[in-house]
Amino acid sequence: MTGPQQASYLHGYSAFNADRASRLEIAAAADALFVDGDDGSRFALQVQDNPPALIYPAGAPPMSLDILLAGIEALLANRPDINRLALRLEGAEALIAELLAQGVAIREGEAVVVAPAMFWQLRAPWLAGAAAEPFPLLYTMTNGKRHPIRRPKREGVLYARYIPWLDQVLSFRLAFPRTDLCAFNRWMNEEEVARIWEETGDIDHHRAYLLERLADPHTLPVIGCFDDAPFGYFEIYWAKENRLGPYYDADDYDRGWHVAIGEPAFRGKAWITAWLPSLMHFMFLDDPRTQRILGEPAAAHAQQIRNLERSGFAKVKHFNFPHKRALLVMLLRERFFNDRLWMPNEAGPPLDRRRDRAQADAGGGVDAIAGASIEVERVQ
């Protein structure tokens, strides 16, 4: 990375965080990235600034695909201005063939380049169980609704991503009563969450609630964590079988979501710019056939709707649920990846300044549910 501004842009990064045994650490110098392998080896990738390129010189030790993916992710995450990243891998024809076969890179003339909109649709860097093929299509009926049979829920961590402006790893894992019941019970009885979700109750009530969601193939109950500290509950659903399905022309793989940020310390702009785009990222990666993500905020929740618009959601229509008048909003897969909505919608300053600002923003966290949780309507 040449130039004084670029040199301070990336100081440290981690990749492949969904499986700690596979986690890779990346560091930067003025014009190079250093990726540490899990066997103690270190690989140096030269960084060219204009035009952007990653260079692995001839005669260097053979490099695995994961090492290169980690370096690409770190650079693209911290350089959102890059539209195309050229790869110059001297004497690595087999690796180049693998990159092209897996869609990591494409050929543009004689050059081998990475397109960010394609790269961030890869599953391996962020998704646990990424090697699993999409679940085969077979239709079934539930309560008179025809929809695909859904994949059984995967236990443990589902998705993880390093957030450079917070210097923390965000992860989503399946919620289970044996590990999450006490936190879930406390969150649902917390005043701000209870005002929206209306799910106050004792331990037994919330145990039954989680067990019901786990047993329902159309819902995925998830706990969000920053550096392994649980901060909120997320409920992801397949829209076709959901209460939302009859109100629009639902596709087989449309998804929707609800959220409650249970820990007040994790409310506010610094955190929402991390978990909201990462949640969308997870849903798009979880099944490549998902082209649309839906939301259903109350029509009167102007701040939530503004937040969703800033995050790429388009207004579709107003409609009436039995319990509220709602606005249907929709995020398209193409817009999310082409507009790079996995990052905050602003030009990022160097990492240290972003981190300082994030910590300052976190101090005003009692923005609570309306401003920081986006869509927290009770699931009925």
Q: Phi and psi at residue 346, in whole multiples of 5°?
A: -160, 160
pTM value is 0.90
375 is catalytic: no
For 226-244, how does the pLDDT look when each residue is reduced to its tens digit (9 = 90+)?
999 999 999 999 999 999 9
Domain boundary, last residue among 59, 89, 120: 120
Domain that holds residue 183: 129-339
CATH number at residue 136: 3.40.630.30
Number of structural domains in the chain: 2
Residues 113, 137, single domain; the answer is no
Q: Phi and psi at residue 133, in whole multiples of 5°?
A: -70, 155
Which pair of tokens denotes residue 291?
């082209």
**pLDDT, mean of residues 349-373:** 38
pLDDT at 96: 97
CATH number at residue 46: 3.40.630
Residue 327 in domain: yes
Burial (CB count <10 Å: 0-12, 13-18, 19+), residue 354: buried
The enclosing H or E element of 329 equals strand 325-332
Domain boundary, last residue among 120, 155, 185: 120
Q: Where are the alpha helices (DSSP H) in 146-289?
A: 177-188, 191-197, 203-215, 269-286
For 40-58, how does the pLDDT look when each residue is reduced to its tens digit (9 = 90+)?
899 999 999 999 999 999 9
- Per mean pLDDT, which range of 114-118, 139-143, 221-225, 365-369 is the poorest? 365-369
- Catalytic option among 73, 296, 375, 377: 296
Residue 186 in domain: yes
Q: Which among 120, 81, 73, 127 has a CA at the least distance from the CA of 337?
A: 120
For 20-37, how does the pLDDT look when each residue is reduced to its tens digit (9 = 90+)?
788 999 998 889 999 998
Residues 133, 116, single domain; the answer is no
